[in-house]
Amino acid sequence: MSVPKAPPHGLACLALLAACHFPAWAADVNAGAKIAANGGSQGAAACASCHGSNGEGTASFPPLAGQSAGYLERQLHDFAAGRRKAPTMEPNARALTDAEKADVAAYYASLKLPIQSKVGPLPKAKDGNGAWLVERGRWEDGIPACAKCHGPGGTGVGVDFPAIGHLSAAYMQTQVDAWKNKSRQAGPLGLMGSIAQKLSPQDIQDVAAYYQQQHGSAAASH
Among 77, 136, 150, 215, binds ligand HEC (CB under 6 A): 150
CA distance 58 to 222: 8
Size of the chain in residues: 222
Looking at the Cβ atoms of 10 and 43, the one nearer to ligand HEC is 43
* Residue 95 DSSP code: T
CA distance 48 to 175: 21
Phi, psi of 84 (to 5 degrees): -125, 120
Dihedral sign, CA of 35, 41, 43, 44? negative
Looking at the Cβ atoms of 2 and 167, the one nearer to ligand HEC is 167
Looking at the Cβ atoms of 120 and 187, the one nearer to ligand HEC is 187
Maximum CA pair distance of the chain? 69
* Residue 84 DSSP code: B
Distances (CA, A) of 131 to 2, 92, 125, 137, 185: 59, 36, 9, 9, 27
Amino acid at 179: W
Beta carbon of residue 106, minimum distance to ligand HEC (angstroms, whole number): 11
Looking at the Cβ atoms of 1 and 91, the one nearer to ligand HEC is 91
Among 31, 72, 106, 109, binds ligand HEC (CB under 6 A): 72
Instruction: Confirm or reject binding of residue 146 to ligand HEC (CB under 6 A).
Output: yes
Instruction: Confirm or reject binding of residue 69 to ligand HEC (CB under 6 A).
Output: no
Residue ranges of the annotated binding site for heme c are 47, 50-51, 89, 146, 149-150, 192
Among 50, 81, 209, 218, binds ligand HEC (CB under 6 A): 50
- 156 sits in which H/E element: none
Site for ligand HEC in 92-121 (CB under 6 A): 92, 96, 104
Binding site for ligand HEC (CB under 6 A): 35, 40, 44-45, 47, 49-51, 61-62, 64, 72, 74-76, 86, 88-89, 92, 96, 104, 133, 143-144, 146, 148-150, 160-162, 164, 167, 172, 174-175, 186-188, 191-192, 195, 199, 207
